[in-house]
Amino acid sequence: MLSIAIGCDDAAIDMKNQLVEFIKNKGITVVDYSCDQYPELTMYPDIAMRVAQAIKEGEHERGILICGTGIGMSITANKVRGIRAALCHDTFSAQRARKSNNAQIICLGARVIGTELAKVLVDAWLDSEFDGGGSAEKVERISHYENIQHLLS
């Protein structure tokens, strides 16, 4: 069974709550790492790191991160080696995040899109799988550069 980690800061609690219910209604397990569940996680970088690390460690297959714009969550989650987080505001990007980039995390902006669109994007992302093919070499190249940077730092 698919397990989804979700996390949000105070700018996105309402959207997160609606997405949790939406995903649970699909029979998918959701674990909430948001600021309203963990009061010690008050800043979006802390929440993004917690979700990204949980995915990296195999606790969940995928994750959803939501803040005001989704930008900060995306930047932070992508700091975790092996994680690919994609900021999406349209269905094509949500699908391609999985199909072309094998993104384990979708990032959304609660102040940029509405909750109904967020549900559509999450559906598109959940229904998509990595195609491999010509994209596999590109995802491998991303990992190559990530590993080089890790060795240099």
Active site residues: 67
- Name the region of 58 (left: φ>0; alpha: ψ -120 to 50; beta: rest): left
The amino acid occupying position 47 is: I
151: phi then psi, degrees, rounded to nearest 5: -70, -30
Output the six-digit token pair for 32. Answer: 């909430």
Name the token pair of 150.
């890790």
Distances (CA, A) of 8 to 11, 28, 44, 89, 103: 8, 18, 7, 16, 18
Task: Report the C-alpha gap between 87 and 8 in whole angstroms.
Answer: 14
